[in-house]
């Protein structure tokens, strides 16, 4: 559906760029109204966050109100809000008083680490099993993986996480249950996420591969005298890779949503954890920052997937 | 990640790949040699720990560095000290101040600092430093606002505090974590805390707010060197996750466990569970200015509808925690055994409400007709989940008041909703857990909560001059028997008028890994007692 | 939040080369599961005969018996009654959010394909911007406005679902509108309503059925996930995610309690996914 004369790469970048801009506007506006419509007294919330609820008093809240300018009229605030966002200024947390950009930069590292480990693990598990299943459609491996994938996908990620903690950490003691700061802390949340991802990519790989195996060029490759292994590597993998990579784009939703829930469960100090925490404290600038970074991350990753598909599949370039 | 590597951990990593498979097949856990070598049958895996580093897990996050924000965390980890410390019963002990004297009229206090005390940057703790820290603390919200301070200055090598009138609770106020003494280098020129340079036995080495910080034994500490060399604190928001971290042996000391998890951990073969009843009470704060709740009989009726024993039994898992009066028995100066215990009597509760003109409809709910208008007895109850038992207790209270005929909606929000509702007058009911020993003397808490204009966490729309007079006399009186009389009087007033309705007392618990020997839990929640802990052999 | 939602996107459907063989007769298994869950949700509250909020603090964590076939929870409430009410709530939310996403989504999709021009361009841009925000994030943002209320969940889910319907319907309608039958119907002067009813709808309906079952599963899981992280429906209203988090601490004392909501949620999602899977493979 490319407009004539625009290169496919530029088309992808343009469309995704516009998407990023729009989502930023959407999140910014929602956050502004969120800020204005906060039920109760924001100054009190913030003061409790700072001083602990045993120490919160009206005086402390009043100090916060003046300090943060929560008493200014809404139209001034709206203008300020937009101007800040346009300058990529995410503001400061209402609770800690830190610059949100700094906090998020720190948390982003953790989130990316978790997402990357999950993705890598899922690619180790999913497509490998899928290819095995696709080589003999209807065989034992195919049936077992279908059953496994179906059940896994019906399992909410947080329940899977709890079961993995109970099994691998509490009863077997292989891994730390939660937290961070140890090299192995990332394994449990990543594994939880990866299993859900693999359940999907396994079936996609299986379907793609069984299609390739039954294709004329694959059969031709064999009559040409190539060994099973050569045929698999030369014709099978590359052709099966396109749908798997395209499917990664769709898995981004699962990753981002999974990160939000699982970081909370595993006390993993990423953006998802920060987001739930900020919602709890109604720390609107922090909520805005987290959602914005997630949305932009999502668009960026999808752009990469689009570009990877273009690179893998020459047909899409025309 | 932090470069401490040891053979058992590396071996562990190689087992990782097999781990998942083994788990799936239900294979037994691999036996990995414990660093101490004597835990062959230890059901807690040694793999999840870093040898020589004590790991503490709790629900509290580090939201800042200022003593008024997060001072309690630095006190608990023994990084920063206050001038006074407190014994388990709340009586004053020397802290950074080794000795003190007060003038005959009780208006001037002279505090002599520990001569060898040093800040973690190596500088000695001087009287001027203390004055600097205290004067900054006075400008911030905190307990010092309750103290009638006239002037704080350095008098030779002593700290001199001038009061407007005698104030017996001064040592308690100066034991509160918001009055921590930090080195002058901790503050920037505007008085904002930029680093935590305290004078305690442990030194802050790594800070990763809001979740994590690390400490190390301070070589310049003037007391006996602690056995624990290094420790980490990790804030974990979810109670379930904390319990699982204790159960998996990952954390050495876990605080903030919900009663159900505690019950489970108590049955654990090797974990130790320690607990102590602390001077904290779960109570219903109610708006006595609300037209339905102004009459003491209405508050009485709500109190009679509560099945405290059931709540203590089912939610807190310990029947004896049912509150028979506001102050728990641990506060033996304030607990008055002679008071008639609060009890459950639905019939009497209904009778009291009938006297106030309430009738029951077909569904058993209460209504009242004022001429043409009919109003239904419905109230909103605010609470918050920071303490895992509060939402469950709120659900129980909601149901018990429904039995009486009062419709209660529960708003589960943020802890700050309660002070906010107090101030804007919108609060009807709230469930909170108040620590009477925030500063070791409950008098300070009572002054905050039941003063002439009520308190964010105390009375609302209720005021009794007799109580004011009693609390005021307590501030000035030094005679022990007179003080005891005054305290009993205060407890009696609160018991009869019910400006807040006590529900249950509180037990503070922690799960402890067998590799450490505990020093006992602090009933005042002031310290983790790291410096007194030992590695078990 | 939902593994199934990924494959609800049209591209995933088109990847599937040919019908996946129904090894387990999965469609009928799925339908049977759904019927069971729906019957439980519909009749359970009446049959259990207990009030889901009535407590018996002296009889908490009771093992299943004749009076309480699923035992009692940590406040002595009937688990059967609570579970049935929770199922009802989840299914209601799923139905409601799917229905209110389907109607505007499909209508706008057809309109965009039919009219083309700026109508199409504007709606595609709006859809793209919503698409850049994973559904759960939108729900979380809205949930902050009114924590514990039902409407942010409903609104957020509907807002994120409509885009899928819009995209699928628009893409498919483009192809269908160019087909000879519709071309000729238009030339013959049949009105738009007639064409939509007679030609477009029968082609779109099966595909939408698949999407609906996937978004229903997403809705059920999202609600539970939010309950789990403490942003969802408030106690004492029985809700599956909230029940899980409330009952988790008792996993050793009374394992059947935590198993009940997990089992019910899994069966519901499984049923929806199985029904959707087979339909999709018939395309």
With CA atoms as reference, the chain C residue closest to B413 would be C147
Domain match, B251 and B380 both: no
Rounded Cα distance, A312 and C136, in Å: 31
Question: Domain residues for B301?
Answer: 8-36+278-436+498-507
**B455/B403 Cα distance (integer angstroms):** 30
Q: Which chains touch A (3 or more CB pairs under 8 A)?
A: B, C
The pLDDT confidence band at residue C203, using thresholds 50, 70 and 90, is confident
The Cβ of residue B310 has, within 10 Å, a number of other Cβ atoms equal to 21
Whether residue A32 lies within 8 A of chain C, CB to CB, comes out as: no
CB of B440 within 8 A of CB of B88? no
Q: What is the pLDDT of residue B103?
A: 93
Does the CB of A269 have a partner CB in chain C at under 8 Å? no
One domain for residues B318 and B261: no
Q: What is the DSSP letter of A215?
A: S
- Neighbour tally for A97: CB within 10 Å: 18
Q: How far is CA B324 from the centre of its chain?
A: 21
Residue in chain A lying closest to C124 (CA):
A19
**pLDDT value at residue B47:** 52
DSSP B500: E
Question: Which of A176, A184, A282 is the closest to B13 by Cβ?
Answer: A184
Neighboring chain C residues of B413 at a CB cutoff of 8 Å: 147
Chains touching B (3+ CB pairs < 8 Å): A, C
Task: Check whether residue B333 and residue B410 sit in a common domain.
Answer: yes
Taking the C-alpha atoms of residue B90 and residue B104, their distance in angstroms, rounded to an integer, is 23
* A-B contacts at Cβ under 8 angstroms: 187
Determine the average pLDDT of the residues in A268-273. 90
C-contacting chains (≥3 CB pairs under 8 Å): A, B
What is the count of residue pairs from A and C with beta carbons less than 8 Å apart? 171
Strand order in the sheet with B158-163: B97-102, B108-113, B158-163, B149-155
Contact: C6, A208; criterion CB under 8 Å? no
Contact check, Cβ <8 Å, B241/A48: no
Q: Within 10 Å of residue B475's Cβ, how many Cβ atoms? A: 21
Residues 55-114 of A with CB under 8 A from C: none
Q: What does the block give as tokens for B385?
A: 């989940």
Task: Search chain B and give the residue with CA nearest A280.
Answer: B414
- Chain B residue nearest residue C229, CA to CA: B238
Which distant-in-sequence residues (6+ apart) come within 8 Å of B199 by Cβ?
B80, B81, B96, B117, B118, B119, B120, B125, B181, B183
Residue of A nearest to B239 (CA): A265
Q: Are residues B313 and B425 in the same domain?
A: yes
Distance of CA A59 to the CA centre of its chain: 41
Residues C248, B240: C-beta atoms closer than 8 Å:
yes
Would the CB atoms of A298 and C133 count as touching at under 8 Å? yes
Mean pLDDT of A255-273: 88
Interface test with A, best of C26, C34, C90, C129 (most A CBs within 10 A): C129
Is residue C12 predicted with pLDDT exceeding 50? no
B280 to chain A: nearest residue by CA?
A: A54
Whether C150 has a pLDDT exceeding 50, the answer reads yes
Does A250 contact C1 at a Cβ distance shorter than 8 Å?
Answer: no
- DSSP result, A262-305: HHHHHT--SHHHHHHHHHHHT-HHHHHHHHHHHHHHHHHHHHHH
Q: For the structural domain made of C24-276, what CATH number should be given?
A: 1.10.3720.10
Question: Is B295 exposed, middle or buried, given 0-12, 13-18 or 19+ CB atoms closer than 10 A?
Answer: middle
Q: What percent of chain A has pLDDT over 70?
A: 82
A221: helix, coil or strand?
helix
Residues of C in contact with A279 (CB under 8 A): 140, 143-144, 147, 231
Residues B314 and B421 in one domain: yes
pLDDT band for position A144 (cuts 50, 70, 90): confident
Q: Report the pLDDT value the prediction gives residue C20, as an integer from 0 to 100.
A: 45
HSE of B139, CA atoms in CB hemisphere, 13 A: 9
Which residues from A are below 8 Å from C132, CB to CB?
A: 19-20, 22-23, 295, 298-299
CB contact (8 A) between residue A257 and residue C2: yes
Please state the φ and ψ torsions of residue A255, each to the nearest 5 degrees.
-65, -50
Q: Does A303 touch chain C (CB under 8 A)?
A: no
State CA A241 to chain mean position distance. Answer: 21
pLDDT of residue B397: 96
Q: Is residue C115 within 8 Å of residue C267, measured between CB atoms?
A: no
Which residue from B minimizes the CA distance to A57? Answer: B456
H/E run at residue A65: helix A58-68
- Percent of chain C with pLDDT strictly greater than 70: 88
Q: Are C75 and C57 in contact (CB under 8 A)?
A: yes
| Residues A170/B244, Cβ–Cβ less than 8 Å | yes
Q: How far is A14 from chain C (nearest CA, A)?
A: 12
Same-domain pairing of B58 and B84: no
Contacts of C254 in chain B (CB under 8 A): none
Which of A34, A154, A254 lies at the smallest CB-CB distance from C273? A154
Compute the average pLDDT of residues A214-241. 72
Q: Give the CA angle between residues B427, B364, B355 to the nearest 5°.
A: 70
Burial class (CB in 10 A: 0-12, 13-18, 19+), B95: buried
* Predicted structure pTM score: 0.81
Q: What is the mean pLDDT of each run of 10 residues along chain B (537 residues)?
A: 38 35 37 37 55 88 81 93 92 94 92 94 95 90 86 93 93 93 91 90 89 92 93 87 87 88 86 88 93 92 96 92 93 92 95 93 87 87 84 93 92 77 86 88 90 86 93 90 94 94 92 88 90 87
What residues of C are in contact with residue A294 (Cβ under 8 Å)?
134, 137
Residue ranges per structural domain of chain A: 3-86, 100-317
pLDDT of A316 reads 61
> Cβ of A143 under 8 Å from any chain C Cβ?
yes
Mutate to test the interface with B, among A43, A54, A163 (most CBs of B within 10 A): A54
- Nearest CB neighbour to B240, from listed C75, C234, C249: C249
Q: Residue C278: its pLDDT value, please? A: 45
User: Which residue of B239, B266, B306, B310 is the best one to mutate when testing the C interface, meaning the one whose CB has the most C CBs within 10 A?
Assistant: B310
C274 closest CA partner among C31, C3, C6, C40:
C31
Q: Are residues B308 and B409 in the same domain?
A: yes
Closest Cα to residue C5, out of C127, C156, C157, C230? C157
Residue of C nearest to B384 (CA): C230
Of residues A139 and B328, the one with the higher pLDDT is B328
Question: Least CB-CB distance to B396: which of C57, C58, C252?
Answer: C57
Instruction: Please state, in angstroms and as integers, the Cα–Cα distance from residue A193 to each residue in A62, A155, C41, following that order.
Output: 44, 11, 30
Average pLDDT over residues C223-239: 81
> Between C145 and C151, whose confidence is greater?
C151
Q: Do B244 and A56 touch (CB under 8 A)?
A: no
Q: Are B389 and B412 in the same domain? A: yes
Q: Give the CA-trace dihedral at C214, C218, C219, C225, to 10 degrees.
A: 160
Which is higher by pLDDT, A118 or A134? A118
Most A CBs within 10 Å, among C6, C164, C265, to test the A interface: C6
Predicted pLDDT at B495: 95
What are the residues whose beta carbons fall under 8 Å from the beta carbon of A279, sequence distance 6 or more? A287, C140, C143, C144, C147, C231
On whether both B292 and B338 belong to a single domain, the answer is yes
Per-residue pLDDT reduced to its tens digit, A303-316: 888 888 888 776 66
Q: Quick check: C17 pLDDT over 60? A: no
Shortest Cα distance, chain A CAs vs residue B228, angstroms = 20
The beta-strand segments (E) located in B146-229 are 149-155, 158-163, 202-208, 212-217
Per-residue pLDDT at B65: 86
Burial C239-261 (b: 16+ CB within 10 A, else e): bbbbbbbbbbbbbbebeebbebb
Task: List CB contacts (< 8 A) between B384 and chain A.
Answer: 53
Fold topology of A100-317 = MetI-like fold (1.10.3720)
Taking the CA of residue A43 and the nearest CA in chain B, the distance in Å comes to 9
- Residue at which a domain ends, from B136, B162, B186: B186
Interface of C with B (CB under 8 A): 53-55, 57-58, 60, 74-76, 147-148, 230, 234-236, 245-246, 248-253
Kindly give the pairing relationship between strand B92-94 and strand B108-113.
Answer: unpaired
In chain C, which residues have their Cβ closer than 8 Å to the Cβ of A291?
A: 133, 137, 140-141
| CB spacing of C270 vs A150 below 8 angstroms | yes
Chain A residue whose CA is closest to B192: A97
C-alpha B57/C-alpha B53 separation (Å) is 13
pLDDT at residue number A68: 60
- Shortest Cα distance from C239 to chain B (angstroms)? 14
Burial class (CB in 10 A: 0-12, 13-18, 19+), B344: middle
Do B313 and B396 fall within a single domain? yes
Asked if omega into C236 is within 30° of 0 (cis), the reply is: yes
B217: its two tokens: 């034994």
- pLDDT above 60 for C21: no
In angstroms, the CA C147 to CA A104 distance is 24
Residues B245 and B301 in one domain: no
**Residue A236 half-sphere exposure toward CB, CA atoms < 13 A:** 24
| Domain-wise residue ranges, chain C | 24-276
Q: How far is B359 from chain A (nearest CA, A)?
A: 33
Residue whose structure tokens are 């922090």:
A286
Kindly list the residues from chain B whose CB atom is less than 8 angstroms away from the CB atom of residue C253.
260, 263-264
| Mean pLDDT value across residues C190-218 | 83
Q: Are residues B15 and B110 in the same domain?
A: no
Q: Give the distance from CA B385 to its chain's centroid.
A: 14
Q: Is the pLDDT of residue C212 over 70?
A: yes
Residue B158, SS3 per DSSP: strand
Using one digit for the tens of pLDDT, what is the confidence trace for C170-200?
Answer: 888 888 888 888 888 888 888 888 888 888 8
Residue of A nearest to C13 (CA): A204
CATH code of B132's domain: 3.40.190.10
Q: Which residues of A11-45 are buried (b: 16+ CB within 10 A; e: fewer)?
A: ebeebbeebbebbbebbbebbbebbeebebbbbbb
Cβ-nearest to C141 among A30, A150, A162: A30
Backbone angles phi, psi at B276, to 5 degrees: -150, 140
Give residue A284's pLDDT. 82
Q: Count of alpha carbons within 13 Å of C202, Cβ hemisphere only? A: 6
């Amino acid at each position: 559906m490319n407009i004539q004369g625009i290169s496919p790469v530029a088309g992808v970048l343009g469309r995704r760029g516009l998407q990023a801009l729009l989502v930023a506007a959407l999140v910014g506006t929602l956050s502004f109204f969120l800020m204005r419509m906060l039920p109760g007294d924001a100054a009190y919330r913030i003061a409790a966050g700072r001083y602990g609820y045993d120490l919160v008093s009206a005086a402390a809240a009043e100090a916060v109100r003046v300090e943060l300018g929560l008493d200014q009229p809404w139209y001034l605030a709206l203008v300020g809000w937009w101007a800040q966002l346009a300058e990529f200024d995410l503001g400061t947390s209402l609770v800690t008083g830190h610059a949100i950009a700094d906090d998020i930069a720190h948390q982003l590292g953790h989130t990316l680490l978790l997402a990357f480990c999950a993705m890598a693990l899922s690619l180790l598990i999913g497509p490998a099993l899928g290819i095995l299943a696709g080589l003999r459609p209807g065989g034992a491996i195919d049936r077992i993986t279908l059953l496994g994938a179906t059940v896994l996908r019906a399992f909410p990620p947080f329940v899977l996480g709890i079961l993995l903690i109970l099994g691998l950490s509490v009863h077997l003691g292989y891994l730390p249950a939660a937290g961070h700061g140890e090299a192995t802390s990332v394994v449990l949340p990543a594994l939880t996420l990866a299993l859900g991802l693999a359940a999907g990519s396994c079936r996609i790989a299986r379907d793609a591969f069984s299609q390739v195996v039954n294709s004329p060029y694959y059969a031709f490759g064999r009559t040409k005298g190539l060994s099973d292994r050569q045929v698999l590597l030369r014709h099978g993998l590359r052709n099966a890779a396109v749908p798997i990579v395209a499917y990664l784009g769709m898995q981004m939703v699962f990753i981002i949503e999974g990160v939000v829930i699982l970081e909370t469960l595993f006390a993993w100090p990423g953006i998802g954890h920060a987001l739930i925490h900020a919602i709890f404290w109604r720390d609107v600038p922090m909520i805005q920052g987290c959602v914005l970074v997630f949305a932009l991350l999502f668009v960026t990753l999808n752009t990469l997937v689009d570009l990877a598909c273009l690179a893998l599949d020459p047909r899409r370039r025309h | 990640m932090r470069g401490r590597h040891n053979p058992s951990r590396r071996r562990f990593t190689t087992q990782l790949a097999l781990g998942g498979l083994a788990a799936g097949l239900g294979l037994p856990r691999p036996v990995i040699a414990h660093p101490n070598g004597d835990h062959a049958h230890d059901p807690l895996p040694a793999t999840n720990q870093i040898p020589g580093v004590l790991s503490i897990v709790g629900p509290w996050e580090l939201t800042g560095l200022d003593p008024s924000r997060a001072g309690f965390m630095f006190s608990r980890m023994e990084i920063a000290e206050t001038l006074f410390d407190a014994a388990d019963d709340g009586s004053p002990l020397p802290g950074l101040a080794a000795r003190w004297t007060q003038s005959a009229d009780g208006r001037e206090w002279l505090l002599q600092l520990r001569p060898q005390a040093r800040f973690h940057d190596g500088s000695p703790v001087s009287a001027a430093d203390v004055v600097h820290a205290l004067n900054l603390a006075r400008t911030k919200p905190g307990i010092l606002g309750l103290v009638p301070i006239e002037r704080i200055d350095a008098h030779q090598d002593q700290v001199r505090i001038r009061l407007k009138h005698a104030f017996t609770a001064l040592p308690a106020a100066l034991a509160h974590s918001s009055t921590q003494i930090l080195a002058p280098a901790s503050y920037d020129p505007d008085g904002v805390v930029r680093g935590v340079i305290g004078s305690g036995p442990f030194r802050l080495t790594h800070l990763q707010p809001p979740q994590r910080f690390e400490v190390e034994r301070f070589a310049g500490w003037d007391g006996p060197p602690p056995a624990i060399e290094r420790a980490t604190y990790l804030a974990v928001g979810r109670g379930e996750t904390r319990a699982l971290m204790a159960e998996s042996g990952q954390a050495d000391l876990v605080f903030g466990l919900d009663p159900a998890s505690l019950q489970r951990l108590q049955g654990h073969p090797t974990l130790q569970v320690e607990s102590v009843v602390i001077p904290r009470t779960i109570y219903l704060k109610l708006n006595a200015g609300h037209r339905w709740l102004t009459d003491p009989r209405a508050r009485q009726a709500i109190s009679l509808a509560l099945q405290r024993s059931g709540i203590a039994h089912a939610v807190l898992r310990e029947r004896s925690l049912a509150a028979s009066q506001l102050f728990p028995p641990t506060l033996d100066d304030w607990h008055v055994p002679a008071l008639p215990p609060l009890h459950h009597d639905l019939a009497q509760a209904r009778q009291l409400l009938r006297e106030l003109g309430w009738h029951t409809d077909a569904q058993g709910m209460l209504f009242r007709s004022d001429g043409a208008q009919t109003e239904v007895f419905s109230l909103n109850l605010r609470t918050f989940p920071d303490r895992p038992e509060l939402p469950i207790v709120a659900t129980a209270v909601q149901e018990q008041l429904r039995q009486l005929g009062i419709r209660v909606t529960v708003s589960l929000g943020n802890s700050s909703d309660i002070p906010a509702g107090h101030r804007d007058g919108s609060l009807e009911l709230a469930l909170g857990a108040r620590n009477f020993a925030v500063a070791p003397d409950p008098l300070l808490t009572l002054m905050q909560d039941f003063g002439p204009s009520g308190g964010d966490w105390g009375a609302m729309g209720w005021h009794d001059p007799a109580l004011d007079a009693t609390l005021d006399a307590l501030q000035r009186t030094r005679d022990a028997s007179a003080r005891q009389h005054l305290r009993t009087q205060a407890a009696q007033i609160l018991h009869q008028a019910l400006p807040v309705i006590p529900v249950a007392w509180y037990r503070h618990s922690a799960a402890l890994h067998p590799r450490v020997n505990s020093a006992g839990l602090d009933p005042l929640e002031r310290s983790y007692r790291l410096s007194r802990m030992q590695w078990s052999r | 939040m939902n593994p199934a939602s990924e494959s609800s996107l049209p591209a995933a459907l088109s990847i599937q080369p040919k019908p996946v063989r129904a090894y387990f007769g999965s469609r009928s298994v799925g339908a049977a599961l759904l019927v069971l869950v729906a019957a439980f949700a519909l009749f359970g509250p009446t049959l259990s005969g207990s009030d889901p909020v009535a407590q018996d603090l002296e009889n908490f964590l009771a093992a299943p018996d004749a009076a309480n076939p699923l035992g009692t929870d940590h406040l002595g409430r009937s688990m059967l009654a609570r579970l049935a009410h929770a199922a009802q709530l989840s299914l209601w939310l799923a139905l409601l959010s799917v229905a209110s996403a389907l109607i505007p989504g499909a209508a706008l999709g057809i309109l965009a394909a039919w009219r083309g021009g700026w109508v199409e361009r504007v709606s595609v841009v709006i859809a793209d911007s919503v698409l850049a925000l994973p559904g759960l994030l939108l729900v979380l943002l809205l949930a902050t406005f009114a924590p514990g209320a039902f409407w942010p969940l409903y609104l957020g889910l509907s807002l994120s679902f409509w885009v899928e319907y819009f995209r699928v319907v628009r893409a498919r309608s483009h192809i269908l509108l160019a087909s000879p039958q519709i071309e000729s119907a238009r030339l013959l002067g049949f009105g738009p309503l007639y064409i939509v009813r007679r030609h477009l709808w029968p082609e779109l309906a099966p595909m939408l059925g698949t999407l609906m079952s996937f978004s229903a599963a997403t809705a059920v899981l999202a609600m539970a996930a939010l309950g789990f992280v403490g942003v969802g429906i408030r106690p004492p209203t029985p809700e599956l995610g909230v029940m899980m988090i409330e009952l988790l601490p008792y996993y050793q004392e009374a394992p059947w309690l935590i198993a009940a909501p997990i089992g019910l949620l899994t069966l519901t999602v499984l049923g929806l996914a199985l029904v959707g899977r087979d339909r999709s493979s018939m395309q």
